[in-house]
């Protein structure tokens, strides 16, 4: 066991709530842990720096060492899973170690996944596997690198302990950091149990801890629901704009503050398809790419119902309407930025959605297309670098002509300024499934270098990385058949 010289400052406010909110559990240690990767950027958020910190993180994530001041607990919550209500879920294999007060009095939940079975594990073993842990480690940092609200990842560790899924897999654990782990399902848990006193306590806690400005509102529960609606809408609009599919948008996987939470069978679009479904366990396509905005509304409605003792029907409908309006506005703004428009004008929505229809019809590589468009000279059509991505470039060139006409109505600015903004909007790299799979396969053989390389690339996806240029090219043929499931 390695104990660092410097420590963390804890203030565990959630642990001061009534014990019906959680179960205190100590982690079940993983044997012989090996540090796969440590993320110093996240360590700095916690104010936890020093040469000895990576080894301390290894032992902490493996459950072999609990930092002084931590108070480990498994949260209780419920949720709608694939549309059906599950009254008892909770942290079946995760533990909230505590809340760290970082530089500038910032507050962060410190959480480990793969800590062993808890009272909420049902029949699960409470473990995590290296495959899914690496995917969450890289996936959450990829989202943060893209500027999308997300949980963060501190470190990932591997263990020789074999964990059974479809086949035996390498055991692992991940330490993640978040501004909150409160989910829509926390509110559903107490509402559907009829425990309105605890529901009120959770509401008061959430407002005081995460939305203190709303405490000045006369009707603060309704103000909270409106705030959650806007944050959720903005996050899902950001997902759609980068071609990200979450894969398991259950209400227990929806963070109250809009952060992207719980990375399972997620996927970034390769060849753009409206109906892209990254989870082969989702037989109906409920959580496919084009359904995400509607599912966000569905989930928000479930939260609104859970808050109904304090938020009346008119206020609940106002929040759902706000979600739809804010989503469309946010998505349109992001698409405008992707094609080089400074602000939306009448008629832009048709122009933008026609482009998406074209990309879908020809299944164009989504990320490569917008990156190529960023380099295009708006006065050039035939020589467009994006043209080669289309099997039939004729419809694209017609659309490109419409864009050029629209750009004539833009405020006067230099081409270089427009290009610079587009290059900071359209990433060169996203974490494609085959990239994560390549890192996983090497890590399972004990080689963690590719995990480190991809971490560096996805944390700065808008920059040029000469040593990783192959990751921005066409996806290999074998990668087109990769399938993912909820199993982790």
Secondary structure of residue 406 in the 3-state scheme: helix
Instruction: Determine, yes or no, domain membership for 458.
Output: no
Question: 52 and 117 share a domain?
Answer: yes
Q: Residue 476 domain-assigned?
A: no
Q: Which of 118, 151, 180 is the last residue of a domain?
A: 180
Question: Is residue 329 domain-shared with residue 376, that is, in the same domain?
Answer: no
pLDDT of residue 487: 56
Q: What distance in Å separates the CA atoms of residue 463 and residue 65, rounded to the nearest whole number?
A: 38
With a pLDDT cut of 90, the percent of the chain lying above it is 83
Q: Mind listing the pLDDT tens digit for each residue in 423-453?
A: 999 999 999 999 999 999 999 999 999 999 9
Residue 265 near residue 279 (C-beta atoms within 8 A): yes
Residue 485 vs residue 351, higher pLDDT: 351
In the predicted structure, residue 79 carries a pLDDT above the cut 90: yes
Instruction: For residue range 471-481, list pLDDT tens digits in order.
Output: 888 888 776 65
Question: What are the residues facing 155 on neighbouring strands?
Answer: 38, 175
Give the Cα separation of 300 and 16 in Å (integer).
Answer: 27
Residue that is last in its domain, among 423, 438, 473: 423
User: In 10 A of CB 147, how many CB atoms?
Assistant: 14
* Closest-CA residue to 373 (of 394, 397, 351, 349): 397
Number of domains in the chain: 3
Question: What is the greatest pairwise CA distance in the chain?
Answer: 67
Q: How far is CA 403 from the centre of its chain?
A: 32
Instruction: Please report which confidence band the pLDDT of residue 364 belongs to, taking 50, 70 and 90 as the band edges.
Output: very high
Is 95 in a helix, a strand, or coil?
A: strand
| DSSP string across 371-405 | HHHHH--TT-STT-TTGGG-SSHHHHHHHHHHHHH
Same-domain status, 281 and 394 = no
> 3-class SS at 174?
strand
Q: Is the pLDDT of residue 8 over 90?
A: yes
Q: What is the mean pLDDT of residues 16-43?
A: 97
- E runs forming strands in 28-93: 34-38, 73-75, 79-81, 84-86
Which of 59, 91, 109, 252 is flagged as catalytic?
252
- Residue 416 designated active-site: no
- Same structural domain for residues 192 and 328? yes
The pLDDT, as a whole number, for residue 123 is 80
Q: Do residue 95 and residue 208 come from a single domain?
A: no
Identify whether 46 is part of a domain.
yes
Are 358 and 384 part of one and the same domain?
yes
Q: How many Å apart are CA 465 and CA 467, to the nearest integer? A: 6
Name residues whose C-beta falls within 8 Å of residue 412's C-beta, 6 or more positions apart in sequence.
none
Considering the domain boundaries, does residue 454 fall inside one? no
Structure tokens at 282: 């989702």
Say yes or no: 166 and 192 in one domain.
no
Regarding whether 189 and 167 lie in a shared domain, the answer is: no
Q: Are residues 197 and 322 in the same domain?
A: yes
CA–CA distance, 313 with 304 (Å, rounded to integer): 9
Same domain, 175 and 190: no
**Is residue 115 in some structural domain?**
yes
Range of the domain at 378: 341-423
Has residue 431 been placed in a domain?
Answer: no
Give me the torsion for CA of 231, 261, 309, 74, rounded to 10°: -150
Q: CA 471, 266, 147: angle at the middle one, nearest 5?
A: 70
Residue 414 has pLDDT above 70, yes or no: no
The CA distances from residue 16 to 22, 61, 180, 312, 477, in Å, are 10, 23, 15, 30, 53
Element (H, E) at 11: none
Query: Rounded CA gap, 259 and 253, in Å?
Result: 10
Residues, the chain: 488
Are 347 and 200 members of one domain? no
Q: What is the mean pLDDT of the chain?
A: 93
What are the backbone angles phi and psi of residue 79, rounded to the nearest 5°? 160, 160
Asked, for residue 123, whether it belongs to a domain, the answer is yes
209-241 residue pLDDT tens: 999 999 988 899 999 999 999 999 999 999 999
User: What's CA 383's distance to the chain center, in Å?
Assistant: 37
* 486 in a structural domain: no
Strands 79-81, 128-129: pairing is unpaired
pLDDT of res. 474: 85
Do 315 and 396 belong to one domain? no
Q: Is there a contact between 426 and 371 (Cβ–Cβ < 8 Å)? A: yes
For every residue of 342-370, DSSP letters joined together read SS--TTHHHHHHHHHHHHHHHT-BHHHHH
Per-residue model confidence (pLDDT) at position 96: 98
Domain boundary among 336, 364, 388: 336
Give the helix/strand (H/E) hosting 232. helix 220-242
């Amino acid at each position: 066991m390695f104990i660092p010289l410097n420590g963390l400052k804890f203030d565990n406010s959630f642990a001061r709530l009534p014990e019906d909110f959680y179960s205190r559990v100590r982690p079940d240690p993983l044997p012989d842990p090996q540090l796969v990767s440590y993320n110093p950027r996240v360590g700095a958020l916690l104010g936890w720096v020093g040469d000895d910190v990576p080894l301390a993180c290894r032992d902490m994530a493996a459950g072999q060492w609990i930092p002084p001041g931590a108070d480990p607990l498994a949260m209780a919550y419920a949720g709608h899973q694939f549309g059906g209500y599950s009254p008892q879920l909770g942290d079946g294999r995760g533990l909230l170690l505590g809340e760290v007060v970082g530089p500038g009095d910032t507050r962060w939940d410190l959480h480990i996944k793969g800590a062993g079975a808890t009272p909420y594990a049902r029949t699960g073993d409470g473990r995590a596997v290296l495959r899914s842990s690496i995917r969450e480690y890289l996936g959450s940092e990829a989202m943060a690198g893209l500027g999308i609200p997300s949980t963060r990842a501190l470190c990932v560790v591997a263990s020789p302990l074999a964990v059974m899924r479809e086949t035996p897999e390498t055991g692992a654990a991940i330490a993640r950091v978040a501004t909150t782990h409160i989910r829509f399902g926390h509110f559903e848990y107490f509402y559907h149990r009829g425990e309105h006193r605890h529901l009120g306590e959770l509401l008061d806690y959430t407002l005081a801890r995460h939305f203190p400005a709303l405490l000045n509102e006369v009707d603060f529960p309704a103000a909270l629901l409106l705030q959650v609606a806007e944050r959720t809408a903005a996050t899902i609009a950001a997902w759609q704009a980068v071609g990200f599919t979450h894969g398991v948008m259950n209400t227990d996987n929806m963070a109250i503050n809009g952060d992207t939470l719980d990375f399972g069978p997620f996927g970034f679009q390769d060849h753009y398809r409206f109906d892209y479904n990254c989870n082969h366990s989702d037989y109906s396509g409920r959580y496919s790419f084009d359904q995400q905005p509607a599912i966000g509304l569905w989930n928000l409605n479930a939260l609104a119902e859970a808050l109904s003792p304090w938020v009346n029907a008119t206020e609940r409908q106002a929040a759902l309407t706000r979600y739809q309006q804010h989503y469309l506005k946010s998505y349109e703004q992001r698409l405008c930025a992707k094609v080089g428009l400074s602000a939306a004008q009448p008629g832009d929505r048709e122009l933008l959605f026609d482009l998406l229809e074209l990309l879908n019809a020809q299944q164009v590589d989504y990320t490569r297309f917008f990156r190529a468009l960023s380099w295009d000279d708006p006065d050039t059509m035939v020589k467009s670098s994006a043209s080669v991505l289309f099997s039939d470039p004729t419809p694209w060139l017609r659309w490109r002509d419409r864009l050029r006409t629209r750009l004539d109505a833009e405020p006067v600015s230099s081409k270089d300024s427009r290009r610079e903004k587009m290059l900071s909007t359209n990433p060169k790299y996203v974490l494609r499934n085959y990239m994560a799979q390549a890192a996983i396969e090497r890590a399972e053989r004990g080689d963690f270098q590719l995990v480190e390389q991809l971490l560096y690339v996805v944390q700065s996806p808008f920059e040029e990385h000469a040593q990783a240029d192959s990751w921005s090219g066409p996806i290999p043929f074998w990668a087109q058949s990769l399938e993912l499931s909820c199993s982790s």
